[in-house]
Chain A
């Protein structure tokens, strides 16, 4: 039994030798890039906070303590309140921590909608071409010809101000970009010799798409999505800032900045710390995205590979 498992692991290792090497190389590239690592750290912190943030806050981020509200309101940063307090005496550190969840939720939801839609429509438009392509791409063009943020504002104003409408509004403006990227990539891969070779063998269209086109399309899409994560967070903060996203008392970074604006610049911490949170998160995603692009770029990887050969 144990021998069986052992030999199974051994053959698995043999079969996947090249893949394992590939992963090791990716890791190697990643380790070489301090910026990408920094990005990864920021993003990891953000995701962890997004999951457990609301449970580890030192104070309740939402409830107003009326008993102490007057003494505690608008206190500057101190050991008691790292980020100071707001006009209701709530701890801003707690509110910023809790705010990570809303940003994470919105951006995940947007990606969960925009990526599959972009993938499916892009693959169809790119592979089949002709009338289908025309229709899909003209609709996409219409969406892309409006500034994203303005369109998102319009949608979420129509849908009513809430986190849900912000999610839907951002998703609505986000998919067309992905359709374009996926379509372009599909078009170029469709003309590649290996797809021609597969067609000459008689491989069915659905298998060609799944086996030859999809894996080659997904890579640039992942990079793009990672880079976009930050932008989605920015847009969702902007929506909340103008009152269309998260509604009080939900702590949301954009909303916090909007609320703190009234007290700016004397009570600077009210806007500063939520702003800092947005800054680091967006920076983190961008750095990670750039790093991923390097990793997934075979040219970059080959350089590292040389090293393996030289050992």
Chain B
């Protein structure tokens, strides 16, 4: 199974459906996350890739209980996160932090940087062993900002600087794990590279564990040790990063890889391309059987009837597709 016992984070059968209502009646469900299982070992990065509506952001929020999942289990360091209450939940929040995609929305426009960074320290009353202001300055310097930025408001900063502030806020509590929800998607490429390298450095320095959510395959290849490919609420392929890119198994992964634009004109024009078919369908009442079957060129008879099971095709390389099923 994808789940390893010694992992820092274990997610088992996580499900979150949002009802779609018309007047008073529920006419369907957005199956945002529909039976997702995986695990991440300490100090590793799991990249979650997928297109819009695949449920990757819901997954991120469900893991830290910003959204309550309907079903499933989440174990962090052996404890079931979904059962935590009060002080224990607060303790969990200290250990797992999140950075959002949009640095313009994630900082309160009416608070100075000092106040924004003080909030987590104040809330958890953690022992920082120094003056709060000195600690905050050290945080700022760590993410490449300076002391004079302390009493400014978010709107005085560029997108990249704001994302640094958001990262500083997430690091303020000395967490063990960061959930990064498209942290560089809103940034320019040159700034994106700065942030990515910074995050990689912090991972080494602090032994941080990352759940890195993105739609950018270049970024995910650069930062992740393992990759989970999501399609309509399900993980369709999981494996070590280089395995996934060199030997993609699931037809959806193959389609994604041939669709991404490559920043190299020779490679871009000479490689064999599979023309992608259709568009990601709405996650409301997704297709039966394998959810990818309407867009799949390798489709066989049972694909639209039965849901395929998870198979380990290579060592630690899993997929959910009838083509690889031994049955």
Contact = CB atoms under 8 A, between A and B. Distances in A.
Contact between A and B in the complex (any CB pair below 8 Å): yes
Interface of A: 14-19, 22, 192-194, 196-204, 207, 211-212, 215-216, 298, 302
B89 interface: yes
A197 B123 contact: no
Contacts of B102: 193
B74 to A, nearest CB: 15
A198 B97 CA distance: 10
Interface residues of B, number: 32
A16 B153 contact: no
Interface in B142-157: 151-153, 155-156
Most buried by B among A19, A192, A207: A192
Most buried by B among A16, A196, A212: A196
Contacts, number: 71
B248 to A, nearest CB: 33
21 contacts: A15-B114, A15-B151, A17-B152, A18-B112, A18-B151, A193-B105, A194-B106, A196-B66, A197-B107, A200-B97, A201-B93, A201-B97, A201-B123, A201-B173, A202-B90, A202-B94, A202-B124, A203-B119, A211-B108, A211-B119, A212-B108
B236 interface: no
B321 interface: no
In the A-B complex, the 3 residue pairs with the smallest Cβ-Cβ separation, listed nearest first, are A202-B93, A193-B105, A193-B106
Nearest to A202: B93
A22 B123 contact: no
Nearest to A204: B123
A18 B175 CA distance: 30
Given A193-B106, A200-B66, A298-B109, A18 B152 contact: yes
Contacts of B106: 193-194, 196-197
Nearest to B97: A200
A39 to B, nearest CB: 25
A281 B109 CA distance: 34
Given A200-B97, A201-B124, A202-B123, 16 more contacts: A18-B153, A22-B153, A193-B100, A193-B102, A194-B107, A197-B100, A197-B169, A198-B108, A200-B98, A201-B93, A201-B97, A201-B123, A201-B173, A216-B108, A216-B109, A298-B109
B110 A215 contact: yes
B100 to A, nearest CB: 5
Contacts of A15: 114, 151
Contact of B151 (A14, A194, A211): A14
Nearest to B107: A194
Contacts of B114: 15
B94 A197 contact: no
Nearest to A14: B151
Contact of A203 (B66, B123, B156): B123
Contacts of A197: 98, 100, 106-107, 166, 169
Contacts of B173: 201
A199 B102 CA distance: 16
A193 B108 CA distance: 9
Nearest to B90: A202
